[in-house]
Structure 1
Amino acid sequence: MSKVVLSDGARLALVFLSSVSVLIAVLTVYEAFAVRSFDASGNELSEASDSREYWDTVRPILVRGALGIAGIGCVVYLTGLPVEFLLLETTLDAVLAALGIGVLVGVGLMAAQKLFFGVTYRFGYEHDMTTFELLSPDTSDEWVLHLGLFLPVVAVYEELVFRVGLIALGYSAFGVDTWTLVAVSAVLFGLAHRQQEWGGVVIMGISGIAFGAVYLWTASLLTVVIAHYSMNVLAFAVYAYEETDPSMEIQPT
């Protein structure tokens, strides 16, 4: 990852965005720990309610993600920060390569996640799936919204914060070693998923390392966004399938 000569305004934007990304990541971790056992209405959450509305559950996350993406875009545009800091593909070949690599990484991480869940189940650790139950769509309209809007926004927003903001911009703004930033980003990414209990923290931390490594290897935001999106799509698809066919669930011994 190379540095680029910047104007004073662009360098200020770089420091600002990197600092804001750190703040967002830390606040996300705090929120994950502080409201882990409560739903959006402040009710204690032991299991998902059958009467909950999908849109009510995802709306706060979707709005925050959309505002975050829009805010970052405005800062980049208004300050003239070079687009290469976002590592966006501009050619068809690069987009196709990002698509292929991203899907493969997403499938691989989902397979690793199922393996991890299977092994830990065998040792008697039962993972809390409340978060999946709350966020999983039920109707065809909800699935369209989930796949076409909610998961893409989540993937773009989280990759902008945890990979672009903490790794690329952190390196360019402060000169911190990139692999150190990958490790810090992965730890924060894992802790930000505390709602999924400690098993979720571990597997998301591992996923964060993989996303960071792929980001450094490909220098491509689109690749890690597609990998993140693919992993999430598969996770919800597998969860929905297991809910309709309980015999497919891994049971603790």
Structure 2
Amino acid sequence: MPQWAAFVGLTGFLLTVLLGLSKLSHRSLSGDSAGVTARTDGFDRVHRAGPADDTYPRFETRRATGERRHVEDRLSTDDLSTGALLANVALTQGLFGVLLLGGAFLFEIPRSAFGVTAAALSTGLPGVGIGLAAGVGFWVGNEFATAVADGFGIGVDDALRELLAPDSRAGWVVLLGVVLPIIALVEELLFRAAAIGVPVAGLDAPAWAMVVLASIAFALGHGAQGWVGVVVTGALGVALGALFVLTNSLLAVVVAHYLVNTLELCVHEGLGVERLGQLLMKHRVDG
């Protein structure tokens, strides 16, 4: 017999631990000291540059610039290589995934509560198609949201995204084929399937209220991106939560989440394309 309350308690515990680790990590990396700017302009190399201008091309506040530089200084030098960072992310996320799946097995939670059924929309090509379409739409929405932030002179902290970008083709294969799939799967298992699907299925919790709560937790877990990044991530969490509720498909939200992360890294780090807001501001300055 499913032990719904026990599993919900486990989910709450894992969320608390994850948010605590995120807060500690962000606090240990935050500061106002100057650092090194890491930038990738292709799939096969990383350029190291000196201190960037406080407002151009990122249009950040001075505080955000200081925090970004300190993160880069702490992580982009000898302290932690990109490969070690990717391994750390994959192992940490994987551990949470194993604990969550172990709890689901121990407490006999049915797969349907996680959005895994025999329906084509759940585990078939229709679910993949919806996830792909939603992922592109969500990424475009993220780009417009950050463009609005740039327009108001509020920069989104991209330091960790830059540090995740590998400096070799093999690194990109590992990132796109291993690390990002693990991140998408585990975060959707935790923030959508476990935090929304299980309480709704087993405890008759209101679905949209759980979407809001799960999205708040999802946003707080991405504090390293700065407060603008937290807001944008929270909006993405609401969109993913709505997609999960409307489709009851874990596959769809995993595909969408993976595509958002992949486009973010490949477009801006792999191809070196600046954000929309940065391009508009540069055009305005040049004009």
Question: Residue 49 of structure 1 is aligned with which of 76, 81, 84?
Answer: 76
> What's the % identity of the aligned pairs?
26
The reply to whether residue 85 of structure 1 matches residue 113 of structure 2 is yes
Q: Whole-Å Cα distance in 2 between the matches of residues 227 and 247 of structure 1?
A: 20
1:11-63 deviations in Å (ceiling 9; x for gaps):
x2x32322222222233223333321545xxxx93425255422211222211
More deviation, 54-63/202-211? 54-63
Counterpart residue identity of residue 68, structure 1? F
Give distance in 1, aligned partners of 2:131 and 2:150. Answer: 28
The partner residue of 1:168 within 170, 193, 197 is 197
Structure 1 CA distance, aligned partners of 2:218 and 2:13?
13
* Match of residue 262 from structure 2: 233
Contact 2:218 2:233 in 1 (8 A): yes
State whether structure 2 residue 117 is matched by structure 1 residue 63: no
- Retained in 1: the 8 A contact 2:135–2:255? yes
Which amino acid in the other structure matches residue 137 of structure 2? G
CA contact (8 A) 1:85 1:169 kept: yes
Q: Residues 101, 246 of structure 1: CA spacing in aligned structure 2 closer, same or farther, 3 A cutoff?
A: closer
TM-score of the aligned structures, taking structure 2 as reference length: 0.75
CA distance in 2 between counterparts of 1:102 and 1:224 reads 6
Partner Cα distance (1:46, 1:218) in 2: 38
Residue 116, structure 1, aligned to residue 145, structure 2: yes
Alpha carbons of structure 1 residues 185 and 248: separation in structure 2 relative to 1, 3 Å? closer
Q: Decide whether the 8 Å contact of 1:29 with 1:194 is kept in 2.
A: no
The superposition leaves residues 149-186 of structure 1 with CA deviations (integer Å, 9 ceiling, x where unpaired) of 10111111111111111111122343321110000001
Q: Shift of residue 99 of structure 1?
A: 0.9
Could you tell me which residue of structure 1 aligns to residue 19 of structure 2? Answer: 29
1:224 maps to what in 2?
253
- Matched residue, 2:178: 149
Return the structure number with greater relative CO, CA threshold 8 A, min gap 6: 1
Paired residue total: 239
Q: TM-score under structure 1 normalisation?
A: 0.85
- Structure 2 residue runs of 5 or longer lacking an equivalent are 30-66
Residue 125 of structure 2: SS of its match in structure 1? helix
> For structure 1, which runs of at least 5 residues remain unmatched after alignment?
1-6
